[in-house]
Protein backbone atom coordinates (compact mmCIF):
# COMPACT_ATOMS: atom_id res chain seq x y z
CA UNK A 1 0.00 0.00 0.00
CA UNK A 2 1.03 3.58 -0.50
CA UNK A 3 -0.08 4.87 2.91
CA UNK A 4 2.45 6.95 4.80
CA UNK A 5 2.87 5.27 8.18
CA UNK A 6 6.34 6.27 9.40
CA UNK A 7 6.98 9.74 10.80
CA UNK A 8 10.61 9.68 9.59
CA UNK A 9 9.21 9.80 6.05
CA UNK A 10 8.70 13.57 6.35
CA UNK A 11 12.29 14.36 7.25
CA UNK A 12 13.95 11.88 4.86
CA UNK A 13 14.76 14.68 2.42
CA UNK A 14 12.69 13.97 -0.68
CA UNK A 15 9.26 13.14 0.69
CA UNK A 16 6.34 13.56 -1.69
CA UNK A 17 2.84 12.82 -0.45
CA UNK A 18 -0.80 13.48 -1.22
CA UNK A 19 -3.47 14.20 1.37
CA UNK A 20 -6.92 13.24 0.17
CA UNK A 21 -10.37 13.25 1.73
CA UNK A 22 -12.19 11.75 -1.24
CA UNK A 23 -13.33 15.15 -2.48
CA UNK A 24 -10.22 17.27 -2.51
CA UNK A 25 -6.52 16.53 -2.43
CA UNK A 26 -3.22 18.33 -1.98
CA UNK A 27 0.23 17.11 -2.92
CA UNK A 28 3.32 18.22 -0.99
CA UNK A 29 7.05 17.79 -1.11
CA UNK A 30 9.32 18.12 1.91
CA UNK A 31 12.78 18.63 0.54
CA UNK A 32 16.08 18.97 2.36
CA UNK A 33 18.14 22.03 1.51
CA UNK A 34 21.21 21.04 -0.51
CA UNK A 35 23.78 22.31 2.00
CA UNK A 36 21.94 22.24 5.34
CA UNK A 37 19.41 20.18 7.25
CA UNK A 38 16.59 22.66 6.68
CA UNK A 39 13.45 21.04 5.31
CA UNK A 40 11.32 23.07 2.93
CA UNK A 41 7.67 22.27 2.33
CA UNK A 42 6.05 23.02 -1.00
CA UNK A 43 2.53 22.40 -2.23
CA UNK A 44 1.75 21.33 -5.78
CA UNK A 45 -0.05 24.18 -7.56
CA UNK A 46 0.91 23.57 -11.20
CA UNK A 47 0.58 20.76 -13.71
CA UNK A 48 4.03 19.12 -13.71
CA UNK A 49 4.49 17.14 -10.50
CA UNK A 50 8.24 16.72 -11.11
CA UNK A 51 8.98 20.47 -11.41
CA UNK A 52 9.57 21.24 -7.72
CA UNK A 53 10.65 24.83 -8.14
CA UNK A 54 8.16 26.02 -10.73
CA UNK A 55 5.02 23.94 -10.22
CA UNK A 56 5.02 23.82 -6.42
CA UNK A 57 4.46 26.84 -4.16
CA UNK A 58 6.54 27.41 -1.06
CA UNK A 59 4.57 26.71 2.10
CA UNK A 60 7.09 26.89 4.95
CA UNK A 61 9.83 25.08 6.87
CA UNK A 62 9.30 21.76 8.59
CA UNK A 63 10.67 21.22 12.08
CA UNK A 64 10.68 17.43 12.71
CA UNK A 65 11.46 17.82 16.44
CA UNK A 66 8.29 19.82 16.99
CA UNK A 67 6.32 18.24 14.16
CA UNK A 68 5.41 21.69 12.95
CA UNK A 69 5.49 23.60 9.70
CA UNK A 70 6.68 27.14 10.29
CA UNK A 71 5.36 29.86 8.04
CA UNK A 72 8.05 32.31 6.94
CA UNK A 73 8.03 35.62 5.07
CA UNK A 74 8.18 33.85 1.72
CA UNK A 75 5.33 31.43 2.40
CA UNK A 76 2.70 31.58 -0.31
CA UNK A 77 -0.06 30.35 1.97
CA UNK A 78 -0.95 31.37 5.52
CA UNK A 79 -1.73 29.26 8.56
CA UNK A 80 -5.47 29.48 7.94
CA UNK A 81 -5.24 28.17 4.36
CA UNK A 82 -6.47 24.69 3.49
CA UNK A 83 -3.05 24.04 1.91
CA UNK A 84 -1.31 24.63 5.23
CA UNK A 85 -3.90 22.97 7.44
CA UNK A 86 -4.10 19.75 5.38
CA UNK A 87 -0.31 19.38 5.46
CA UNK A 88 0.06 20.07 9.16
CA UNK A 89 -2.85 17.76 9.90
CA UNK A 90 -1.32 14.91 7.88
CA UNK A 91 2.08 15.21 9.55
CA UNK A 92 0.47 15.21 13.00
CA UNK A 93 -1.69 12.16 12.21
CA UNK A 94 1.34 10.13 11.16
CA UNK A 95 3.51 11.33 14.05
CA UNK A 96 0.82 10.43 16.60
CA UNK A 97 -0.09 7.19 14.77
CA UNK A 98 -3.72 8.22 14.56
CA UNK A 99 -6.34 6.23 12.71
CA UNK A 100 -7.48 8.43 9.85
CA UNK A 101 -11.18 9.34 9.52
CA UNK A 102 -13.12 7.33 6.94
CA UNK A 103 -12.28 8.37 3.40
CA UNK A 104 -9.08 10.20 4.31
CA UNK A 105 -5.71 9.09 3.01
CA UNK A 106 -2.09 10.19 3.25
CA UNK A 107 -0.25 8.52 0.38
CA UNK A 108 3.32 8.72 -0.79
CA UNK A 109 3.94 9.10 -4.51
CA UNK A 110 3.54 6.21 -6.91
CA UNK A 111 5.12 5.22 -10.23
CA UNK A 112 3.31 4.60 -13.47
CA UNK A 113 3.57 0.91 -14.38
CA UNK A 114 3.85 1.79 -18.05
CA UNK A 115 6.12 4.82 -18.36
CA UNK A 116 7.61 5.04 -14.85
CA UNK A 117 6.55 8.63 -14.26
CA UNK A 118 5.78 9.99 -10.81
CA UNK A 119 2.13 9.64 -9.76
CA UNK A 120 0.62 12.03 -7.21
CA UNK A 121 -3.08 12.09 -8.03
CA UNK A 122 -4.99 9.80 -5.62
CA UNK A 123 -6.71 7.90 -8.42
CA UNK A 124 -3.44 7.43 -10.30
CA UNK A 125 -1.57 6.24 -7.19
CA UNK A 126 -4.34 3.74 -6.45
CA UNK A 127 -4.39 2.50 -10.04
CA UNK A 128 -0.61 2.47 -10.39
CA UNK A 129 -0.92 3.97 -13.85
CA UNK A 130 -1.13 7.56 -15.10
CA UNK A 131 -4.20 8.86 -16.94
CA UNK A 132 -2.45 9.07 -20.29
CA UNK A 133 -1.04 5.57 -20.13
CA UNK A 134 -4.47 4.35 -19.01
CA UNK A 135 -5.93 6.03 -22.10
CA UNK A 136 -7.99 8.49 -20.09
CA UNK A 137 -6.67 11.77 -21.44
CA UNK A 138 -7.38 11.19 -25.13
CA UNK A 139 -11.06 11.85 -24.62
CA UNK A 140 -10.39 15.17 -22.90
CA UNK A 141 -7.96 16.29 -25.57
CA UNK A 142 -10.47 15.41 -28.25
CA UNK A 143 -13.05 17.62 -26.51
CA UNK A 144 -10.67 20.55 -26.67
CA UNK A 145 -11.00 20.60 -30.42
CA UNK A 146 -14.68 19.76 -30.54
CA UNK A 147 -16.17 22.82 -32.23
CA UNK A 148 -19.69 21.41 -31.86
CA UNK A 149 -19.58 22.13 -28.16
CA UNK A 150 -18.42 25.70 -27.50
CA UNK A 151 -18.95 25.41 -23.75
CA UNK A 152 -16.67 22.41 -23.37
CA UNK A 153 -14.24 23.85 -25.86
CA UNK A 154 -13.69 27.01 -23.85
CA UNK A 155 -13.13 25.14 -20.60
CA UNK A 156 -10.29 23.16 -22.19
CA UNK A 157 -8.84 26.01 -24.21
CA UNK A 158 -5.79 26.34 -22.02
CA UNK A 159 -4.57 22.83 -22.70
CA UNK A 160 -5.41 23.11 -26.38
CA UNK A 161 -3.52 26.36 -26.63
CA UNK A 162 -0.41 25.24 -24.80
CA UNK A 163 -0.44 21.72 -26.19
CA UNK A 164 0.18 20.44 -22.68
CA UNK A 165 -0.67 16.90 -21.78
CA UNK A 166 -3.88 17.13 -19.87
CA UNK A 167 -4.19 16.04 -16.27
CA UNK A 168 -0.76 14.45 -16.14
CA UNK A 169 -0.41 13.81 -12.49
ZN1 LIG B 1 2.54 6.37 -17.61
Does 95 lie in the same domain as 12?
Answer: yes
* 122 falls within a domain: no
pLDDT at residue 1 in the model: 74
pLDDT at residue 139 in the model: 56
Domain assignment of residue 105, given as a range: 7-111
* 90 falls within a domain: yes
The answer to whether 75 touches 41, Cβ cutoff 8 Å, is: no
Model pTM?
0.80
pLDDT at residue 160 in the model: 40
For ligand 1, the distance from its centroid to the CA atom of residue 20, given in whole angstroms, is 21
For ligand 1, the distance from its centroid to the CA atom of residue 115, given in whole angstroms, is 4
For ligand 1, the distance from its centroid to the CA atom of residue 148, given in whole angstroms, is 30
For ligand 1, the distance from its centroid to the CA atom of residue 63, given in whole angstroms, is 34
For ligand 1, the distance from its centroid to the CA atom of residue 25, given in whole angstroms, is 20
pLDDT at residue 167 in the model: 45
Does 104 lie in the same domain as 21?
Answer: yes
Does 153 lie in the same domain as 97?
Answer: no
| Structural domains of the chain, count | 2
**C-alpha separations of 131 from 121, 126, 134, 153, 159 in Å:** 10, 12, 5, 20, 15
pLDDT at residue 110 in the model: 97
pLDDT at residue 136 in the model: 81
* 27 falls within a domain: yes
For ligand 1, the distance from its centroid to the CA atom of residue 169, given in whole angstroms, is 9
pLDDT at residue 4 in the model: 97
Does 42 lie in the same domain as 79?
Answer: yes
For ligand 1, the distance from its centroid to the CA atom of residue 168, given in whole angstroms, is 9
What is the mean pLDDT for each group of 10 consecutive residues in the chain (169 residues)? 94 97 97 95 97 97 98 97 98 97 97 97 96 79 49 41 42
For ligand 1, the distance from its centroid to the CA atom of residue 167, given in whole angstroms, is 12
First to last CA, the chain: 19
* 118 falls within a domain: no
For ligand 1, the distance from its centroid to the CA atom of residue 15, given in whole angstroms, is 21
pLDDT at residue 49 in the model: 97
Residues in the chain: 169
- Round to whole Å and give the CA distance between 56 and 15: 14
For ligand 1, the distance from its centroid to the CA atom of residue 127, given in whole angstroms, is 11
Amino acid sequence: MSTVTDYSFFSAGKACFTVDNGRKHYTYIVQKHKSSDILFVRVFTGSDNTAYFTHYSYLGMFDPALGEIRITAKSRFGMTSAEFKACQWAITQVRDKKTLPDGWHIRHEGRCCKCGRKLTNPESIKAGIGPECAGKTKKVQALAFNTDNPLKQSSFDFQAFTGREVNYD
